């Protein structure tokens, strides 16, 4: 069974750094792109970017380029999303999801349960 | 790249059919057959309902169908059931390593 399990909720202060994780199981983690999707409170889904765990190739949405850093550790089947200096506007639910497609980004077939990040002074 | 345009809300009575539209441009919906639809219940992660315009993943009821014409994709839910009440999001490949979501439609079963 394909599963993506994300790390737990976080409460941080503005300016702090943070890394959240997404661990895959039930499939060959290195052979599928992993995407990150933001959902701000009461709002819709926003695609942030994707990473290929096999070689850590990354592609960022223009809206999130430079705002976050994606990484992966293929040896422990985990992908990460990192902020170096959080802002209150980073408060949101963040989902990881398995992407189908590579040269064309087709669809996300499995999703993690989400990680709620709250940034407040 | 701008979000795809969806109506904020849609509704129907049990047993009826409802259609949700998703309008993009020639650079996304109109340019590729890579439109997908996701269902999201409150407090839950999105769930894939339709991929590549009209294909249903295993386990998704055939009450859910979808199509595309030009720059507009559509999701139809037939034989509405109470459990179909949720938010629905469309998504499309936008070219140049980009993916775009719609703003979401809240489906209410009256």
d(CA B34, CA A107): 7
Q: What angle do CA B58, B110, A109 make, to 5 degrees?
A: 20
CA-wise closest residue to B54 among B23, B81, B38, B75? B75
Q: What angle do CA A109, B4, B74 make, to 5 degrees?
A: 70
CA-wise closest residue to A48 among A119, A120, A117, A121? A117
d(CA B109, CA A91): 31
The A residues from 29 to 88 touching B (CB cutoff 8 Å) are 35, 37, 44-47, 59, 61-62
- Whether the per-residue pLDDT at A72 is higher than 90: the answer is yes
Distance, CA of A33 to chain centre: 11
Instruction: Using CB atoms within 10 Å of the CB of residue A119, give its burial: 0 to 12 exposed, 13 to 18 middle, 19+ buried.
Output: buried
- Whether the per-residue pLDDT at A46 is higher than 70: the answer is yes
Contacts of A114 in chain B (CB under 8 A): 45
Are the beta carbons of B75 and B37 closer than 8 angstroms?
A: yes
Q: For position A91, what pLDDT does the model report?
A: 98
Chain A interface includes B99 (CB < 8 A): yes
Q: For position A104, what pLDDT does the model report?
A: 82
* Mean pLDDT rounded to a whole number for chain A: 96
- Whether the per-residue pLDDT at A60 is higher than 70: the answer is yes
Residue range A25-44, pLDDT digits in tens: 999 999 999 999 999 999 99
Q: For position B1, what pLDDT does the model report?
A: 66
SS3 A75: helix
Contact A106 B36 (CB under 8 A): yes
Residue range A81-121, pLDDT digits in tens: 999 999 999 999 999 999 998 778 889 999 999 999 999 99
Give, as one character, the DSSP assignment of residue B84. Answer: G
**Mean pLDDT in runs of 10 for chain B (110 residues)?**
91 97 96 97 98 96 97 98 98 91 97
Q: For position A103, what pLDDT does the model report?
A: 77
Count other C-beta atoms under 10 Å from residue B32's C-beta: 20
């Amino acid at each position: 069974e394909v599963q993506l399990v994300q790390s737990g909720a976080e409460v941080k202060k503005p300016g702090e750094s943070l890394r959240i994780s997404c661990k895959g199981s039930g499939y060959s983690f290195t052979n599928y792109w992993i995407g990150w999707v933001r959902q701000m409170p009461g709002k819709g889904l926003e695609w942030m970017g994707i990473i290929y765990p096999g070689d850590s190739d990354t592609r960022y949405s223009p809206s999130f380029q430079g705002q976050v850093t994606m990484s992966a550790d293929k040896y422990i089947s985990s992908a990460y999303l990192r902020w170096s200096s959080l802002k209150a506007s980073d408060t949101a639910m963040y989902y990881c999801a398995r992407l189908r497609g590579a040269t064309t980004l087709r669809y996300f077939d499995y999703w993690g349960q989400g990680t709620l990040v709250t940034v407040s002074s | 790249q701008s979000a795809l345009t969806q109506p904020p809300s849609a509704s129907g009575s049990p047993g009826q059919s409802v259609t949700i539209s998703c309008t993009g441009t020639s650079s996304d919906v109109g340019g590729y057959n890579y439109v997908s639809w996701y269902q999201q219940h409150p407090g839950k992660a999105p769930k894939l309902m339709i991929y590549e315009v009209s294909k249903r993943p295993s386990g998704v009821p055939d009450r859910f169908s979808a199509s595309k014409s030009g720059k507009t994709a559509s999701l139809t839910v037939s034989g509405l059931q109470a459990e179909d009440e949720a938010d629905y999001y469309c998504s499309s490949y936008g070219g140049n390593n980009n993916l775009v979501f719609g703003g979401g439609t809240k489906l209410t079963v009256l």
